[in-house]
Structure 1
Amino acid sequence: MTRRFDVLENCRATTPSSGATNTATTTAQQCYIHPVVLFSILDHFLRRNDNQERVIGTLLGVRSDDGRIVEIRSSFAVPHFETEDQVEVDMEHHRTMYTLHKKASAREQIVGWYATGSSLSKYAALIQDFYSREAAPFSAVHLVMDTDLVPAVGAAAHPENCVFLPLPYELQYPDAELSALQTAADSSELGVTGLVSDMEQLEKTIEELHAMLDRVTKYVTNVVDGKEKPNNIVGKSIDKQFAVLFQSHLQDILMVAYLTNLTRAQLNIADRLQRIL
């Protein structure tokens, strides 16, 4: 089964007297999400206290220069206490965690916040207002993950709330995360899989690379022989990838040559010092 989630963004406060101020001046138009963010949110939800119905946390990532494209790369949990009458968010914990995160990932910044549940909370506007100030001058993105596997989250406006607009989003798979996801997908029906050795992983990667090269070679051969209609986009992509891989291979060779010369020089210095002593 697939869990549903929506990416939302507030555009304005509907009631000036509510006390919420929107400091954002630029709104996002496209959002990219790394899978590790979704797994972190689910892990946070599974580890919640027994009396908690939902959890919230901070989203971190990078933006384009104009702020219209957001890439959500990581997240961390933020403790909060919520009742029918009030909500309390541990702002100090949020700022402490963000300071620690900046030491490890200096480029990542606050881009918004997440919450679990099947609908928008009535306190969403208050929390959104806080994160809008943290993400200023850009608007804060709100990611809502439905952990109950029910219909999609609604984004209707309320008189006392902000107007939340859904954003188009897309999952991005970095190489390291894609390898982990493939390993998880190949696990048995019991959900248990053994860790492969480095040699087995290398062998599997080489086999996949060999299979991809066979498909590309077959396609190019069919196009040259007139058996298949050429596609300019595919042709340009193959040429671009070949140039990138060739350049990368050349850089690897130069690096190996540099390290070899450096090692030889160190051995010569050590040999001369040994003779002097």
Structure 2
Amino acid sequence: MAGADNLTVLQFFPSPASASANIHPVVLFNICDSFVRRPDQAERVIGTLLGYVAADGTVEIRNSYAVPHNESSDQVALDIDYHHNMLISHQKVNPKEVLVGWFSTGFGVSGGSALIHDFYSRETSNPVHLTVDTGFVNGEASIKAYVSISLSLGDRQLAAQFHEIPVELLMSEAERIGVGLLKQPKVEKLPGDLEGMEASMIGLLSLVKDIYRYVDGVVEGEIIPDNNIGRSIADSLALVPKMSPAALDKLFNDRLQDNALLAYLSSIARTQLVIAEKLNTAAQVL
């Protein structure tokens, strides 16, 4: 085609950013706490993410703090001095944690996100943008992470596009319970020891039933076997201690009795504190 050598090419230039991000639960707790304590006129919370970048490029997000800001339809004003002072204070305590990106509450990327991302791009290379849906748009607090990809026309950069990357929560079993409660739209009260144990046993029973159905389906030829699933089942069974049903029942009942005793003692202590407080108040009045 004539003049083909003079064509201008529209290109995407992926940044050498990480392919994934790992989040520790304390980051989510900090973000949700900041959202609850936000000013009345603020619709969302914006803040800084701290952590480090692993050798494979994965961003480990280990800490965070909110940054005061004012936001309108066409501009966002961040308290940069507050951000820098908080960053210096955090690095005095944890010098290995560096700035790796920023977060905002809400579902997905909003209109002013490009302006904020541009600021953090000047603070660090290839920042990660983390969003936490505190409005429960899809029924839970969905968490997403993004990096920026440059859009260029010839030699001129036109804009930046947010590209979603995989994100994973790194947590222990105890933290998993708290994060599960945090991602629910409404929780009347935190479960006690017995209620938590009951919920865990119900979940375990459901998993055992799923495994039974899978194994039966493989044996009957209805399901194509997966070697990875088979190895996972074998590893899980190998961790089960070898004991008789009677010994297992005794161990389980002893644990239930211990939890019931702890609940009873805590109730007595709480009652004594209430009585002591009332007696102290009455003595001061007299």
**TM-score bracket relative to the smaller structure:** 0.5 to 0.7
Question: Against the structure 1 CA distance between its residues 26 and 186, is the aligned structure 2 distance closer, same or farther, given a 3 Å change threshold?
Answer: closer
Q: Per-residue deviation at 1:90? A: 2.8
**Correspondence for 1:196:** 191
State the identity as a percent.
39
Residues 201-216 of structure 1 mapped to structure 2, 5 A cutoff? 201-213=196-208, 215-216=210-211
CA pair 103-178 structure 1, distance change in 2 beyond 3 A: farther
Tell me, yes or no, if the aligned pair for 2:75 and 2:112 is still in contact at 8 Å: no
Which of these residues, 95, 103, 111, is aligned with residue 120 of structure 1?
Answer: 111
- Following the alignment from structure 1 to structure 2, what is the Cα–Cα distance between the partners of residues 107 and 40? 19
Q: Matches of 2:41 and 2:223 in 1, distance apart?
A: 62
**Residue 164 of structure 1: aligned partner:** 161
Q: TM-score, normalised by structure 1?
A: 0.53
- Higher relative contact order, structure no. (Cα contacts within 8 Å, ≥ 6 residues apart): 1
Deviation at residue 141 of structure 1 after TM alignment: 1.5
Assess, with a 3 A threshold, how the Cα gap between structure 1 residues 209 and 50 changes in structure 2: closer, same or farther: closer
Change (3 A) 1:46 1:202: closer
Is the CA contact (8 Å cut-off) linking 2:50 and 2:98 kept in structure 1? yes
Instruction: Go from structure 1 to structure 2 and tell me whether the alpha carbon gap of 1:51 and 1:222 turns closer, same or farther (over 3 Å shift).
Output: closer
What CA distance in whole angstroms lies between the structure 2 residues aligned with 1:185 and 1:82? 26
CA drift at 1:170: 3.5
Structure 2, unaligned runs of 5 or more: 1-11, 138-145, 242-286
Contact 1:35/1:171 (<8 A) preserved: no
Distance 1:213 1:49, change over 3 A: closer
RMSD across aligned positions (CA): 4.7
Residue aligning to 1:180: 178
- Residue 234 of structure 1 and its aligned partner are, at CA, apart by 0.8
The alignment partner of 1:98 has SS state of: helix
SS of 1:167's equivalent? strand
Could you tell me how far apart the structure 1 residues matched to 2:134 and 2:159 are? 23
* C-alpha contact (below 8 Å) 1:56/1:116 kept by paired residues: yes
- Tell me how far apart the structure 2 counterparts of residues 241 and 30 of structure 1 sit (CA, whole Å): 28
Residues 45-99 of structure 1 show CA distances to partners (whole Å, capped at 9, x for unaligned) of 45433454554211234433142x3344542101134568975433342234335
**Which residue number in structure 2 is paired with residue 231 of structure 1?**
226
- AA matched with 2:207: M
5+ residue gaps, structure 1: 1-10, 13-24, 248-277
Provide TM-score, normalisation by structure 2. Answer: 0.52
